[in-house]
Structures are given as C-alpha cells and as structure tokens.
Structure 1
Amino acid sequence: MSMKKYLIDTFIYNDTANKKLLLKILQLSDKTGAVKLFSHLINSQYKWMARILHDPKAAEMSWWDPLYCFDDLEKQWNQSLDLWLKYIASKTDEELSDEVTFIGFDNTKWAASPKDIALQLNYHSIHHRAQIQTLIRQQGIEPDFLDYIGTKYRKLTP
C-alpha cells in the first residue's frame, strides 16, 4: 500500500469515528469539554495546513481557538478534513516524504514531512477522541466502540 493511500485511509477512519463521536456528544448535558477538544482537532488541521502552505497568518492561529459551537463542529471538521484529503491527493508518495519548512512555536524555522504531519494529526485525533470518550462515560453514557480494528475484523461462522 502506498503512503498516500494509507494517509487517506487513516483520515477517512478518523472521519468516520469522529462523526460517530459527535452523535454521542449531542447527548451530553455538559458538552463544554468535548466541544473544546473537538474544536482543537479542527484547529490543529487548519493550523498545520496553513503552516505547510506558508500562510502568513499561520503563526497567529491558535491550536485552541476558535471554540466552535456544537452545531458548527461537523461543518468545520468537514472543511478542515477536506483540505487535507485534497492536499494528499495532489501529492506523490515522494512529495509527501519531502520535508517542508514552517515557522514553529518559537518563531523559528522548522521542517517536517507532510507525511509525518498527517500522521501526527491522525494520531492526535485518536488521543483526543479517547479523552472525549472518557468525558462521555463520566456523564453516564456508554461510549461507542470506535477502535480501528472494529472497522476491519469479522466474525467467522464455525
């Protein structure tokens, strides 16, 4: 499997899991923490893309703000995800492995490959999804099983 396909598949898995998560967040009496973490995932996708594209506003973008209202989460998620899917689709495996430069947290120049940035975003999504699942459980709601393997394994009949 090419890295390009792997990255797209991973973004699609996270998209499916995160959209299921939104249905659970909807049921929460206190959505504050979950909305904050979900907004952070969206903002991270926007900020990393802005860094890659050398957007002059990238350094000013926050990892945590804006805090979206619940009703805007899916729309913003879709937009931030679409940027990444289109970007990856436009690149070869080699281009995804070539380092790009960006201005980092300390206002100095840094470098990483788009492949590694995309992997970070996907692994970061898994991390914060687990935190949101904990918030769901703390409010007395059973979280969905969103593990990757649940999308791949199948029961065999004897």
Structure 2
Amino acid sequence: MADVLNEGSVTPGANYTLANIHEVLTNRFQKNVAIECFYDRETKQQFINEIRVCFNKDLELADCDGILFEEVALNSPTLGKIISNCNVNKPIFYPATVPPSRFDKTHLSPFDLHRKFLDEYKSRKAKESRTMKLLVNIYKLIQLLKWTTI
C-alpha cells in the first residue's frame, strides 16, 4: 500500500487531505476503498491508520460501499462517496514510522495471546480436575457410609 500511495505522490512524513488520499487510491484501484484514521487526543493530530481494500467472493477487487460501521465522510460530485471515519476538515498525517502507542502496550501479539489462552485453559482444567476429584471422594464416602449402615 505504501508503494501505491508513493506512486500518487503521497509520501510518509507529510499531511494530506482525505480527498488527496482517496483520489490516489481510487485512481490506482478503480474501486472505492475505505480510509480509517486515528485521532490522537494528546497531539490533536489525525493519522492515517488503515486502508481497506475490498474483494468479492471471486477475490476480485470490489467497492467497499458495504462496509458496516464506517461513516461516509464526504459525498463529492467529483470524487464520489468517500468511506472514512476521518475528519474532512483536518489534515491527515501519514507517518514515516509508527510511533509506540498505548495500543502496543495493552494488546498482545497473536503468539502471546495464544500462550495466555493456553495458560488460562490449563489452569481452569486443573481447577475442574481438583473439584471433580473432591466430588468423587465425597460420593465414595457417602457410598461407604451407606454400605456400613446397612
């Protein structure tokens, strides 16, 4: 995607309008894509976060007009419908590098997430096993008491 943007003179480290980015992408793909932004409350800056390219069931490029939960930021007579959550009135910064964020610190990698899931699963199974052993021993004790009182 960086190459596509670069071909349209949208290079990292600068601000662009939503219309600029959308025009480059639609010229390249000939389809309507979705552009997602991230607004940093600390810096009051809007960053390009994600560009979604859609495919149909035959894995051919398709318009992303059916994406749920995306706002239509602009319905321009020249550019058409722009699917985005970006603020049209603010510039969008295309960072050269992705800065470390709170997201990185709070979200786990797929490997760490899998390991955490397995650890929780093993812990839960061990607890269930101890509970089951206790119930079986109580049942055996009840059976023993019944046998001795008969």
TM-score by length of 1: 0.23
Select the structure that is richer in helix.
1
Select the structure that is richer in strand.
2
TM-score by length of 2: 0.24
Structure 1 or 2, whichever has the larger Rg, is 2
